[in-house]
Amino acid sequence: MTQTIKLGTGICLVAERNPLLLAKEIATLDHFSGGRFLFGIGAGWVKEETEIMGGDFEHRWTQTRDAIMAMKELWTKDEAEYHGRYYDFPPVRSFPKPVQKPHPPIVLGSITSRHVFQRIVAWGDGWMPVGVSLEEMKRGRETLNQLASQAGHDPSSIQIVAFFAPPDPEALKALEEAGADAALVALETAGEKEALATLEEIGQKVLP
């Protein structure tokens, strides 16, 4: 029904899912959307939930990294194997492959934290700041640029996706000036009428 609108998770708790299954689900979504999927991820914040779902709450970001590295193998190789701390499997074949190469962008959802920025530069593709001010976003952009340069990466390859933004041109401009490359504009979810009204507002105020 659409040609340009993107589809994304905001956010998927990776440590609570099996990476073999999740890699196939993400690749399938990217395949059917024609390469328009954004993989917004997190590590969880409710200890009981994480543990019930098989996660190691105290080391959930370490486990998340392990899962992501395993999924990257599955996405990029016809026959992939992985031997990590949390996940270990022999050579397997996983299809379909993502349309986006090498894989859909992996965007870490989090507050501002140097640890998060280091993770993004090491094995992610972007930051989805949650509940941060414009000034915090600006400082985050500067830190990401610095860390990326130190690691030999192009700072512009790391995107910031603002979560959430109002359908207001001035607010979106302020996010852009603070370092955001994209923004999630929330729709009213009370009903179809409200959602259509928000879409109409976006069409009249934002898109021009």
Split into its structural domains, the chain has a count of 2
Number of H helices, E strands in the chain: 7, 9
Answer whether 161's CB lies under 8 Å from 175's CB.
no
Other C-beta atoms within 10 Å of 147: how many?
18
Q: Which residue has the higher pLDDT, 197 or 173?
A: 173
pLDDT of residue 188: 66
The β-bridge relationship of strands 88-92 and 80-83 is: antiparallel
> Does 6 lie in the same domain as 88?
yes
For residue 187, pLDDT beyond 80: no
Domain residue limits at 72: 1-104
Indicate whether 189 pLDDT > 80.
Answer: no
Give the pLDDT score at 148.
Answer: 97
Q: Which residue has the higher pLDDT, 130 or 105?
A: 105
What average pLDDT is seen over the chain? Answer: 93
Residues 172 and 126 both lie in one domain: yes
The domain that holds 185 is classified in CATH as 3.40.50
Cβ atoms of 126 and 48 within 8 Å: the answer is no
State whether 149 and 76 are in the same domain.
no
Question: Does the pLDDT value for residue 108 go beyond 70?
Answer: yes
Q: Identify whether the C-beta of residue 43 lies closer than 8 Å to the C-beta of residue 106.
A: no
Tell me how far apart the alpha carbons of residues 109 and 13 are, in angstroms, rounded to a whole number.
10
- Per the CB < 8 A criterion, the answer to whether 99 and 31 are in contact is yes
pLDDT tens readout for residues 7-65: 999 899 999 999 999 999 999 999 999 999 999 999 999 999 999 999 999 999 999 99
Cα separation, 109 vs 160, whole angstroms: 10
Average pLDDT over residues 142-148: 96
- Please tell me whether residues 146 and 180 are part of one structural domain: yes
